[in-house]
Amino acid sequence: MCVIIVKDNNKIIEDKILIASSLINPDGLGVLWLDTYKVDKIPSVDYDVLRTKRPFIAHFRYATVGKINLANCHPFSIDDHNLLFQNGTIKNLGNKKQTDTQHMAEILSRCDRRD
C-alpha cells in the first residue's frame, strides 16, 4: 500500500523512512509543498528532495490501478483549492490507464462543495 507523509516546518524525515518508502512504493512520488502549494511529481528514487525543512505532504505510489507513470502520481486536483491524496483502492474506479484516485477526483470535481 502507498505511503503518505505529512511533514511540519523545521523537521527532517529520517533517511530510513524515506528509503523504505521509496523501495516499497517504487511507482512514483507526488509532493505538495505546503509553503508554496506547488505540486511536483517525480520518480520514487528521487526521494532526496524530501530531505528538507520545508513543510510538505508526500505520496509514494504503489500502483494497483492505472498505468505506472508520473501523471498517475497523487495528488490529483479536484478544483482550484482542493487536492486528493489517498491510500488503498477504490472499487470500480479507474482503468488500465487512469488511477482510481484520479477518477475519484474527477467525480468530486463535479460535485457541489456543499454536498
Cell numbers representing residue 6 in the block: 505529512
* Integer Cα distance of 66 and 82 in angstroms: 22
Interatomic CA distance for residues 57 and 5, integer angstroms: 6
pLDDT at 11: 86
pLDDT at site 100: 95
H-type helices in the chain, by residue range? 15-24, 100-109
Per-residue pLDDT of the chain (115 residues; tens, 9 = 90+): 789 999 988 889 999 999 999 999 999 999 999 999 999 999 999 999 999 999 999 999 999 999 999 999 999 999 999 999 998 889 999 999 999 999 999 999 999 877 7
Q: What is the pLDDT of residue 3?
A: 93
Residue 81's SS3 state is coil
Cβ neighbourhood burial of 59 (10 Å; 0-12, 13-18, 19+): buried
C-alpha cell at 109: 470535481
pLDDT at residue 1, as a whole number: 73
The answer to whether the beta carbons of residues 54 and 80 sit under 8 Å apart is: no
Prediction pTM value: 0.91
